[in-house]
């Protein structure tokens, strides 16, 4: 593996970590905050809307992560194919 190839893998890895981190954190914070606000507004007997917010966040996050994982999987496969072509330029 060349240094350029190593760099491409590292960049992809950091891109995935950052993107997945934001994809998990943003819905949790947003839906939990909104749930808490609704609980406060309606003076509910328990944190029902906050819990519902967490459940919605988990659902949204799951869908988003699955879609992004497929896209990043393709990007990773493309990197492997590109590396293979550069090692064996006359094969195909």
Domain ranges of the chain: 3-85
What is the pTM assigned to this prediction?
0.80
Report the candidate in 29, 24, 11, 18 with the shortest Cα–Cα distance to residue 65.
24
Average pLDDT for residues 80-84, to the nearest whole number? 89
Average pLDDT for residues 3-27, to the nearest whole number? 94
Residues 34-73: tens digit of each pLDDT: 999 999 999 999 999 999 999 999 999 999 999 999 999 9
Greater model confidence, 84 or 21: 21
Per the prediction, the chain carries an average pLDDT of 92
């Amino acid at each position: 593996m060349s240094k350029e190839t190593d760099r491409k893998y590292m960049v992809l890895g950091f891109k995935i970590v950052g993107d997945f981190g934001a994809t998990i954190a943003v819905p949790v914070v947003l839906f939990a905050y909104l749930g808490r606000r609704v609980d406060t507004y309606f003076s509910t007997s328990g944190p029902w809307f906050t819990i519902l917010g967490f459940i919605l966040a988990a659902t949204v996050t799951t869908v988003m992560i699955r879609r992004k994982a497929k896209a990043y999987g393709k990007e990773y496969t493309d990197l492997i194919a590109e590396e293979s072509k550069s090692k064996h330029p006359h094969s195909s």
